Chains A and B, each alone.
Chain A
């Protein structure tokens, strides 16, 4: 029926393109549009309002009683905290994930399969449940808090409801996303290359730096993106382990769509979050291109 290959390819691709447009493109456009509208009285969006950038202005400027605009840093602080927490989580995951992935790659076949299973098992339970588990582990009368306080030279420390708790929870939640791509790289790595490096006069450290590290870099980048991006938008972990005191972008977005019923402002926050993610991913892609060029 269709002999033209271009036509044929187009027709075969149509379902995929339709799905992408319908399920990703349309909602994104909708969100962008809503972020320009005003807040409705009952439904969350005033569909009749004139589009404006007021919601974006609100992120940084606040109208004073007398109508002058003054700087409002609270959203900026939350944004910065989100970036810092996501970055810290990424670094923690990398520090923990590297040795684990290296060790796994050296195991026997059955050992590796068992470890892969163990690492994926947490995904079988809900994120909420897993964060509640940390709530129990870190709470004031838990054994972790008690033993930490017993040796702490600074007097009693609060483990829960602060940035540290959120960082711990996030690292725990996203560590597998770091381990898996790293493991994939190390599993394929030809360890004889290190011998070749020693043979050519490189010490152990130099061989790791000049051979293993550059070959593992794509895995490190992939893992870092997979941890950093979802961390930036996380809201369950900061809500539970941050106890409402340590807010991240995800929390305030959720609030705008929930309790505050201010969908347009929530949408503008989402657009900002999306933009931040795009910037990070573009930077990574550029970095990778420069490396391979």
Chain B
């Protein structure tokens, strides 16, 4: 967090939201709190139905929270209608006005702001240049491709210069190639415009490449929040570890004297707060091969795949589970399929997870 005297771009305090009444109540958000810094690219990441859109709609003002407060740049907007909030949304469906041309779409908010005709024209031109859609100003949304519509939606939301831009899976309707392109553009645009972005996606790769910080959500709760590297390297929850990237999850038992036992004779030097059953996680690239008997565990090579710069080995563990190991080319010759190998799990690479 930066300077404490500057209120964060978005501040959400203990927000809960449920739909329906009585026995039909569906809890969707459960006591969510988060702060988004100014000019930050913040991403909400989570599986379908975890409440990402609902949280965005609460910030935009389309839904009202059952509890908690929402402030934008220090101003409480919990009860403000959408048209009084300094945020704009890029909708998943784009929601471009079909009866208006591209430039009229982009001008929509500026007209509501009561700007003069000349000022509107300049601002619309700037916004369209920003997304490189100047040549399409006179077209209607129906005459544009998906990627072009997406750009217009972006320009329309940026034109009124909101304090915060909310983006609800804006890239999910695009094909992979265009998606990659737009990811880069989005990041560039954010830097140029100097606006806080709150981005929603269920694509973990997208979240990691774009964001300054990521919040991982599950079933209406934020499980972990932090920079992409931290989320990737130090997941706190089993759900987070499993959701992001490839990871090996091993069941073990924390011993009262310290250390976690993974099997007969296999103890990793870790200290846990409470003894008992634990799940530990280790990324495929953080485990190392060793000579049989000298690693933490012994394993059998089931299958190996060549990845160009590395080999990915699928190993069988004594308890019957499988283990993924990524071996970089520089670390010696790859073992033969079917051979016995040792497996070293460095203590600093292991994470003990919450359920």
Flag A205-217 by CB within 8 Å of B: 1 or 0 each: 0100011001100
Chain A residues with Cβ under 8 A from B66's Cβ?
A: none
Task: State which of A193, A203, A211, A215 has its C-beta within 8 Å of the C-beta of B83.
Answer: A203
In the assembly, what is the distance between CA of A198 and CA of B99, in Å? Answer: 17
Q: Tell me the residues in window 84-138 of chain B with beta carbons closer than 8 Å to chain A beta carbons.
A: 87-89, 91, 93, 95-99, 108-109, 112-113
Chain A residues with Cβ under 8 A from B88's Cβ?
A: 199-200
Q: Count contacts on A: residues with CB < 8 A to the other chain.
A: 17
A195 within 8 A of B: yes
Say whether A195 contacts B108, CB under 8 Å.
Answer: no
Say whether B81 contacts A200, CB under 8 Å.
Answer: no
In the assembly, what is the distance between CA of A192 and CA of B88, in Å? Answer: 14
A153 within 8 A of B: no
Q: Distance in Å from the Cβ of A292 to the closest Cβ of chain B?
A: 9
B62 within 8 A of A: yes
Q: Tell me the residues in window 309-351 of chain B with beta carbons closer than 8 Å to chain A beta carbons.
A: none
Q: Distance in Å from the Cβ of B199 to the closest Cβ of chain A?
A: 16
Say whether B112 contacts A206, CB under 8 Å.
Answer: yes
| Residue ID in chain B nearest A195 by CB atoms | B62
Say whether B89 contacts A196, CB under 8 Å.
Answer: yes
Flag B58-72 by CB within 8 Å of A: 1 or 0 each: 001110000000000
Q: Distance in Å from the Cβ of B169 to the closest Cβ of chain A?
A: 14
Q: Distance in Å from the Cβ of B228 to the closest Cβ of chain A?
A: 28
B160 within 8 A of A: yes
Say whether A199 contacts B60, CB under 8 Å.
Answer: yes
B151 within 8 A of A: no
Say whether A200 contacts B93, CB under 8 Å.
Answer: no
Q: Distance in Å from the Cβ of B234 to the closest Cβ of chain A?
A: 37
Say whether A215 contacts B60, CB under 8 Å.
Answer: no
Say whether A192 contacts B91, CB under 8 Å.
Answer: yes
Contacts A195-B62, A196-B89; A201 near B109 (Cβ below 8 A): yes
Say whether B95 contacts A190, CB under 8 Å.
Answer: yes
B156 within 8 A of A: yes
Say whether B89 contacts A199, CB under 8 Å.
Answer: yes
Say whether B97 contacts A196, CB under 8 Å.
Answer: yes
Chain B residues with Cβ under 8 A from A215's Cβ?
A: 98-99
Contacts A195-B82, A211-B97; A200 near B91 (Cβ below 8 A): no
In the assembly, what is the distance between CA of A106 and CA of B212, in Å? Answer: 42
A202 within 8 A of B: yes
In the assembly, what is the distance between CA of A198 and CA of B89, in Å? Answer: 10
A197 within 8 A of B: yes
In the assembly, what is the distance between CA of A195 and CA of B61, in Å? Answer: 10
Say whether A199 contacts B97, CB under 8 Å.
Answer: no
In the assembly, what is the distance between CA of A200 and CA of B157, in Å? Answer: 7
Chain B residues with Cβ under 8 A from A196's Cβ?
A: 89, 91, 95-97
Q: Distance in Å from the Cβ of A195 to the closest Cβ of chain B?
A: 6
Say whether B108 contacts A200, CB under 8 Å.
Answer: yes
Most B CB atoms within 10 A — which of A192, A196, A203? A196
| Residue ID in chain B nearest A213 by CB atoms | B99
Task: State which of B62, B97, B157, B160 has its C-beta within 8 Å of the C-beta of A193.
Answer: B97
Contacts A192-B95, A193-B97; A201 near B160 (Cβ below 8 A): yes
Q: Distance in Å from the Cβ of B215 to the closest Cβ of chain A?
A: 22
Chain B residues with Cβ under 8 A from A203's Cβ?
A: 81, 83
Q: Distance in Å from the Cβ of A241 to the closest Cβ of chain B?
A: 40
Task: State which of A190, A200, A211 has its C-beta within 8 Å of the C-beta of B109.
Answer: A200
Chain B residues with Cβ under 8 A from A195's Cβ?
A: 62, 82, 91, 95
In the assembly, what is the distance between CA of A104 and CA of B179, in Å? Answer: 39
Say whether A197 contacts B62, CB under 8 Å.
Answer: no
In the assembly, what is the distance between CA of A195 and CA of B94, in Å? Answer: 11
Q: Distance in Å from the Cβ of A207 to the closest Cβ of chain B?
A: 8
In the assembly, what is the distance between CA of A190 and CA of B142, in Å? Answer: 14
Flag A160-203 by CB within 8 Å of B: 1 or 0 each: 00000000000000000000000000000010110111111111
Q: Which 6 A-B pairs have the closest CB atoms?
A: A200-B109, A201-B112, A196-B95, A198-B82, A192-B95, A201-B83
Binding site for A on B (CB under 8 A): 60-62, 81-83, 87-89, 91, 93, 95-99, 108-109, 112-113, 156-157, 160
Binding site for B on A (CB under 8 A): 190, 192-193, 195-203, 206, 210-211, 214-215
Give 23 CB contacts A-B under 8 Å.
Answer: A190-B95, A192-B91, A195-B62, A195-B82, A195-B91, A195-B95, A196-B89, A196-B91, A196-B97, A197-B108, A198-B62, A199-B87, A199-B89, A199-B157, A200-B108, A200-B112, A201-B83, A201-B109, A202-B108, A202-B112, A211-B97, A214-B99, A215-B98
